[in-house]
Amino acid sequence: EDSQPGTLNDFLGAMSEDDVRPEALRRFELMLEEAARHAEEAKKNAGEAETSARNAGISASQAEESAAHADTSAGDASESARQAAESAAAAKQSEEASSSS
């Protein structure tokens, strides 16, 4: 430039963008960046929450199915116990009939 060193024109010509940009504008830009980061993080968290909800639904279905199988097994065990008791009673009657003959 054609300004003499130490003059006002020299000083004004040497200013950088940081010297010209108001502090409020810098803070606003930082707030925008932070808001964008938070929005991206919220989007990511929403996706993870959706996945967790889907997995919870699958687990609930599997638990329900397991409970149904447990009920069936309990019924089968009860029937087996009843049949075993009948067999034991029949064996006892057979034994008593043999000993009285």
pLDDT at 1: 54
48 falls within a domain: yes
Question: What is the count of structural domains for the chain?
Answer: 1
Domain extent, residue 18, equals: 8-100
16 inside domain? yes
Q: What is the three-state SS of the chain?
A: CCCCCCCHHHHHHCCCHHHHCCHHHHHHHHHHHHHHHHHHHHHHHHHHHHHHHHHHHHHHHHHHHHHHHHHHHHHHHHHHHHHHHHHHHHHHHHHHHHHHC
Q: How confident is the model at residue 34 (pLDDT cuts 50, 70, 90)?
A: very high
In the chain, the largest separation of any two C-alpha atoms, in whole Å, equals 140
The tens digit of pLDDT for each residue in 43-61 reads 999 999 999 999 999 999 9
Residue 76 lies in a domain: yes
Confirm whether 1 is domain-assigned.
no
Asked if 10 contacts 1 with a C-beta cutoff of 8 angstroms, the reply is yes
- Note the pLDDT of residue 12: 76
Domain presence at residue 3:
no
